[in-house]
Amino acid sequence: MADIAPTPPVLRPEHPPRRRLTELAERFAARTIGDLAEVEATGITLATADLRPGEVFVAVPGARRHGAEFAADAVSRGAVAVVTDEAGAQPAAAAGVPVLVVDDPRARLGAISAWMYGTDADMPLLLAITGTNGKTSVSHLVEGILRGLGKVTGLSSTAERHIADQVIPSRLTTPEASEMHALLALMRERGVEAAMVEVSAQALSRHRVDGLVFDVAGFTNLTHDHLDDYGDMATYLEAKLALFRPDRSRRGAVCVDAPEGREVARRSEVPVTTVLTPALADGPVDADWVVDILDERPDGTTFRLSHRDGRSLVTTVPVIGSHMASNAGLAVVLLVEAGIDWGELIALLDGARIPAELPGRIQRVSGARGPAVYIDFAHSPDAFVKTLEAVRRVTPGRVVMLTAANGDRDVTKREDMGRTAVLGSDMLVVTDQHPRSEDPALIRAALVAGARRARPEADIHEVTPPEQAVAFAVSQVAEGDAVLWAGPGHQHYREIAGVRVPFDAAEAARAALRAAGWPPDVA
């Protein structure tokens, strides 16, 4: 079945450089097949569906098939050459275009893409953020502050890609290396002065940010997630640590609230500045910067950011939660480390709200009257704990948790998700989000099992589909209560049996509020 929800486009520079295949071969290829003379390329891609005429197709081994099997399709779409490994050389040559054979083409893709698009020099300020939770929030906070300072910005986050004033939805947290370099080339073309990039562990392990050196890299935290990819937390941490090497970044800013952050700071191979939020820390810790929570209100969290040298400012992040203040403090420190003038940051932020929008991050969709209803992207046990605590602190009444776990993803965290969800709420409603190829009933059962073990007497309900689940959750609350819908966040689709079905959680929640007689926010 074809996707129903539209797939976001892959962006390219509008005026790409033309690169000779002979030079590509000289720089990167072990050997070549066919005549490369007089052939020029204007781009590079791993995906035939995204290929444009004049580009090079990179064929890599897949889980089931080798990409070289799709070389003929790539040529029919306008590919002028194929880059592949020895295993793919002969199948690719049958497509009738020159073939450049390299060792491990995926590992070389970043360097080739940087050469292809000229992103190996004269780039805007490049900032990166990694960690399990908080990457998207930090990314959008950094970009919001930069825009408030009058900078032309670029952004690549889980939620969105921004190129100056253009906004498109994202496919992956971090795009493939060829797409990343094309995106950065387009940003440079449009006058972007500073770009913020979310870097997942998978992006580091799978070479998606190869060919880039970030001016400053940040680290938020490391909690239970992605063990389907990494097996254990130690291996997961090693993947993140790769960002803090001289071939990846020049400086670092690291949150040291937890032992994992302190390990990153200790083992970083580049100079690191540390940031601590005492309200979230597991004990007394020395740090360069401290985030002190001053006030938590339904419309934001006020905090003081202070340095050991006496510099400080007081500002408000426009969402609830101590963890969001921590993210905001880290965002400011990233900019300080990037060379942004402290006086400019004071003028913009001190005594003011941070000028940023955080898509699907503790987003309130309810109006001034009635229960508070929040949509959030939280999908790990630690994120559940922090977000539920944030909602609890600004809610005088009951807190209802509505959530789901995603299919074809780390199954080891599901029972823990159920446990943390039920321990932090007065009622738990379990529904579906992205079952993908799995049976959604089995996914729900794992969440419910974890919840029942933690609180056998708890008020737990299974309701599906999610439109009915949010309507049920809203029907159970009154003025002064809150519903936290964790999971969908910014996404506007559900993935079911290989099909992306359009779905808007915020609109479903607003419809539930209206049906219950409560006014939603003004979307």
Do residues 503 and 466 lie in contact, with contact meaning Cβ atoms separated by under 8 Å?
yes
- Per-chain mean pLDDT for the chain: 94
| Phi–psi pair at 323, nearest 5 degrees | -65, -30
Alpha helix segments (H runs only) across 286-376: 322-337, 342-349
Asked if pLDDT for residue 391 goes beyond 90, the answer is: yes
d(C-alpha 373, C-alpha 469), whole Å: 13
Question: Taking 90 as the threshold, does the pLDDT of residue 228 lie above it?
Answer: no
How many residues are listed for the chain in this entry?
Answer: 523
- 7-44, pLDDT tens digit by residue? 677 789 999 999 999 999 999 999 999 999 999 999 99
Of 236, 187, 179, the C-alpha closest to 209 is 179
d(CA 379, CA 382): 9
Amino acid at 442: L
- The tens digit of pLDDT for each residue in 335-354 reads 999 999 999 999 999 999 99
Q: Is 112's pLDDT higher than 70? A: yes
Of 288, 290, 295, the residue nearest 273 (C-alpha): 288
Contact 160, 170 (CB under 8 A): yes
CB 277, CB 325: distance < 8 Å: yes
The pairing of strands 363-364 and 372-376 is antiparallel
pLDDT in tens, 441-475: 999 999 999 999 999 999 999 999 999 999 999 99
Distance CA 220, CA 211 (A): 23
Strand partners, 500: 495
For the stretch 399-438, pLDDT in tens is 999 999 999 998 999 999 999 999 999 999 999 999 999 9
Taking alpha carbons only, the member of 362, 384, 391, 394 closest to residue 454 is: 384
Q: Distance between CA atoms of 277 and 284, rounded to whole angstroms?
A: 10
Closest to 425 (Cα-Cα) out of 392, 395, 403, 457: 392
Whole-number pLDDT of residue 226? 62
pLDDT at 2: 46
- What is the reported pLDDT for 1? 41
What are φ and ψ of residue 440, in 5° steps? -60, -30
Residues with Cβ within 8 Å of residue 23, at least 6 apart in sequence: none
Asked whether 422 and 460 are in contact (CB, 8 A), the reply is yes
3-class secondary-structure state, position 173:
coil
pLDDT of residue 523: 59
Alpha-carbon distances of 409 from 237, 392, 437, 451, rounded to whole Å:
18, 28, 10, 19
Cβ(222)–Cβ(233) under 8 Å? yes
Per-residue 3-state assignment (H helix, E strand, C coil) for 29-93: CCEEECCCCCCEECEEECCHHHCCCCEEEECCECCCCEHHHHHHHHHHCCCCEEEECHHHHHHHH
Contacts of 397 (CB under 8 A, 6+ apart): 371, 477, 478, 479, 480, 481, 482
CA distance 105 to 319: 43
Q: Is the pLDDT of residue 329 over 70?
A: yes
Cβ atoms of 307 and 286 within 8 Å: the answer is: no
Strands 493-496 and 482-486: unpaired
Are 401 and 422 in contact by the 8 Å Cβ rule? The answer is yes
Residue that the structure tokens 């609180």 belong to: 455
Radius of gyration, alpha carbons of the chain:
24
Q: Give the closest residue to 308 by CA, choosing from 327, 328, 333.
A: 333
CA atoms in the 13 A half-sphere facing the CB of 368? 0
pLDDT at 159: 86
Domains of the chain: 19-117 (3.40.1390.10), 125-353 (3.40.1190.10), 363-515 (3.90.190.20)
pTM above 0.85, yes or no: yes
Cα–Cα nearest to 81, from 114, 89, 50, 186: 89
Average pLDDT over residues 282-304: 95
Q: How far is CA 47 from CA 14, 56, 134, 265, in A?
A: 19, 10, 30, 37
